Structure 1
């Protein structure tokens, strides 16, 4: 089996699985005469991805990301696509729970007070405790429930939150009921024609006053102008790891709202990501070489 892989030190260990490795370096325009599979991490721009996806003989692609929307427009017909939700679930879940705890304890407002403020003369410094709470008894809606959602639910168990889940088969009335009662609503959906722009003014009006919205799915799920209006109105706040566009322009009003916590699409980032990605790829190749079906095959029409 000939497999195109990133030219990174951690991926050298893949040779032990018996595949012939063809290494590509990001942004150098390499192409290959033939390959059975392609493994993509971060790095290749769209033009390089397009060229690699057109490699003759390609049967499958493993993207070491959770999302696939950056690939589906250029994926050749008949080529199987696998993603790596399971690789990223632990880090993303920790990021989500960290954000929820930061919001519940108002850590962002205390941090803002440190910035050029005289604490002795700042009345606001002592005012924030009235907004603080724990997650015990809070209703937390997971809008999407796969590997990442299940890991978030597991991590939330010790904090005593009540977890509500929205899945592909959840009816519209049940979704509306969950949206209306959730104290926190976490978006975990992929970007598809059905989900893009689905979190709009109507959706946000259905959330309870004081609720927080957390988007760690895809930036284009949200109509951001509608979100800004809701944040200046009935919503309690928002935590956004993804935006549309990315990066968020410096003049965007979200930067100026003190009830918003922004992180730059780092939900899955860890210091050992490259090694974990290589280990995940090794297990994937081993499964294929043994004639078994690997996890993570994507229905490109549904986006997951």
Structure 2
């Protein structure tokens, strides 16, 4: 394996990220957020702005970076926007823990009625009342990638009954993983259903009117996957009917328009797609980019490749 020229030219979208990577051996780090002309025509690694529309990748047309590095796990619509011949890596390992933390927080906040209690606090009312719990719940976790596994590991100490669901039925060291096709049999007994799947052709619109109708009355739907996994109009209808509750970090459309009915429903808790955007993000992105620099500098393939270079 031959070593690459030194130093590697690495573009990053923010000054904060440039400063964090400035001392990285073997790299010249410069700021470019993919708007305007590139400061160099010969970048080796291009780090894409966080949560940017894939259309920004058109700025790479005519450039030949060895790696395009995302700061997100998901990469839907990227393949259509990425110029031919470029390799794209996602940020697996960066956001899973923070997203899992938020998923657990959404469950606890919804079960223990924290939004209502905060509203009572603002009104100076001592609103003592019983609530649901997380303990003893039957929780179905749909998606067994990094986020799904992180949610499950954090759920276990809460004394819940966990059912794992993935695309296919299989067994591992921890027991049986049920298939998505089995959801109609699992939903009627589930107190909480958590979505942690990637968005693709098989998951878009997966949670629709029919699946929602199968959920246990009063059950909680938690979505930390992608908004389009759920048919929003069907969810609004199910919540309005008092059939289900929802805790959503992702919605469709996003951002949610001010007039959208989801804002006004009592049994919906909304956060604005902040699952992975915590204090843990920057150091983990920095560590990932440093690993990529080390790999390319020594002639090794990059990590986390999800779209290989194509002609």
TM over 0.5: yes
Counterpart for residue 138 of structure 2: 139
Counterpart selection for 1:184 from 186, 192, 195 = 192
Counterpart for residue 47 of structure 2: 39
Counterpart for residue 110 of structure 1: 117
Deviations 1:103-147 (A, max 9, x none): 1211122223345x4737xxxx34x41xx2332221111111111
Once the 2 structures are TM-superposed, how far is the Cα of residue 169 of structure 1 from its aligned partner? Answer: 1.6
How many residue pairs are counted as aligned between the two chains?
291
Counterpart for residue 246 of structure 1: 254
Matched, 1:81 2:81: no
CA contact (8 A) 1:4 1:24 kept: yes
Gaps of 5+ in 1: none
CA contact (8 A) 2:98 2:280 kept: no
Gaps of 5+ in 2: 1-7, 170-178
Matched, 1:94 2:101: yes
Counterpart selection for 1:225 from 228, 233, 243 = 233
Q: For residues 207 and 234 of structure 2, what CA distance do their matches in structure 1 show?
A: 9
Counterpart for residue 277 of structure 1: 285
Give the structure-1-normalised TM-score.
Answer: 0.85
Structure having the larger proportion of residues in helix: 1
Q: For residues 50 and 33 of structure 1, what CA distance do their matches in structure 2 show?
A: 14
CA contact (8 A) 1:27 1:44 kept: no
Once the 2 structures are TM-superposed, how far is the Cα of residue 238 of structure 1 from its aligned partner? Answer: 0.3
Once the 2 structures are TM-superposed, how far is the Cα of residue 32 of structure 1 from its aligned partner? Answer: 4.2
Once the 2 structures are TM-superposed, how far is the Cα of residue 31 of structure 1 from its aligned partner? Answer: 6.1
CA contact (8 A) 2:35 2:59 kept: no
Once the 2 structures are TM-superposed, how far is the Cα of residue 261 of structure 1 from its aligned partner? Answer: 0.4
Q: For residues 296 and 173 of structure 1, what CA distance do their matches in structure 2 show?
A: 29
Cα distance 1:93–1:29, how it changes in 2: closer, same or farther (>3 A)?
same
Task: Report the secondary structure of 2:105's partner residue.
Answer: helix
Cα distance 1:206–1:17, how it changes in 2: closer, same or farther (>3 A)?
farther
- RMSD over equivalenced CA pairs, Å: 2.6
CA contact (8 A) 1:140 1:183 kept: yes
Q: For residues 55 and 278 of structure 1, what CA distance do their matches in structure 2 show?
A: 27
CA contact (8 A) 1:32 1:55 kept: no
CA contact (8 A) 1:6 1:24 kept: yes
CA contact (8 A) 2:208 2:234 kept: yes
Cα distance 1:29–1:222, how it changes in 2: closer, same or farther (>3 A)?
farther
Matched, 1:267 2:275: yes
Q: For residues 143 and 45 of structure 1, what CA distance do their matches in structure 2 show?
A: 26
Q: For residues 14 and 298 of structure 1, what CA distance do their matches in structure 2 show?
A: 27
Task: Provide runs of 4+ in structure 1 moved above 6 Å.
Answer: none
Q: For residues 268 and 52 of structure 2, what CA distance do their matches in structure 1 show?
A: 31
